[in-house]
Amino acid sequence: MLKIQPVRDDERRKALLSAHGLPMEQRFAVLEAVENGVCTGSLVFSREGERAVLWSVSFGEDETLLDGLARAAASIAMDAGAKTVECENIAFFEAISSVGFHKIGDKMVINLPQFFQRCCAGRNPL
């Protein structure tokens, strides 16, 4: 069974942040996808006022996993008061466009209420 959950253990957070090339900072929230005890993906984001910032994501080639990680982060950010999620790292632009991010200026953005109204990646609406 796949579980996507926040990483609270400092050593595990440090290891995942390092794998993403990011420093150990409290502002970063780290999500990890674990299936049968194996990490299958992870995502790093932060909330800055009414926006959340996607810093890095690892999902292999599994677009559905990317969608799940993005939705988990978006849900946490929205519950904390964010209205948008933004990404300025062009390395992720193509991948995250497949899960609902849109290019606005020099970044990719999702409006959180609209994001949760659309279907998951790879799913057809009823």
Q: What is the pTM of this model?
A: 0.89
What does the pLDDT read at residue 74?
A: 95
Q: What distance in Å separates the CA atoms of residue 124 and residue 121, rounded to the nearest whole number?
A: 8
Q: Is residue 16 in a domain? A: yes
Domain tally for the chain?
1
Tokens of 44: 């790093």
Q: In what order do the strands lie in the sheet with 84-87?
A: 2-6, 29-35, 38-48, 51-58, 84-87, 107-111, 102-104
Neighbours of 39 (CB within 10 A): 15
Tokens of 50: 């009414």
**Distance from first CA to last CA of the chain, Å, rounded?**
25
Q: Is residue 43 in a domain? A: yes
Q: What distance in Å separates the CA atoms of residue 13 and residue 83, rounded to the nearest whole number?
A: 25
Q: Is residue 17 in a domain? A: yes
**CATH code where residue 98 lies:** 3.40.630.30
Q: Is residue 121 in a domain? A: no
User: Which strand (E) or helix (H) includes residue 78?
Assistant: helix 63-79
pLDDT digits (tens, 9 = 90+) for 108-117: 999 998 888 7
Mean pLDDT of the region 96-116: 93
Residue 67 belongs to domain spanning: 2-115
What does the pLDDT read at residue 123?
A: 46
Residues near 72 by beta carbon (within 8 Å), at least 6 away in sequence: 4, 31, 43
Q: Is residue 122 in a domain? A: no
Strand, helix or coil for residue 23 = coil
Q: Is residue 36 in a domain? A: yes
Q: Is residue 126 in a domain? A: no
47, 85 in Cβ contact below 8 A?
no
pLDDT digits (tens, 9 = 90+) for 6-20: 999 999 999 999 999
pLDDT digits (tens, 9 = 90+) for 34-73: 999 999 999 999 999 999 999 999 999 899 999 999 999 9
Q: Is residue 84 in a domain? A: yes
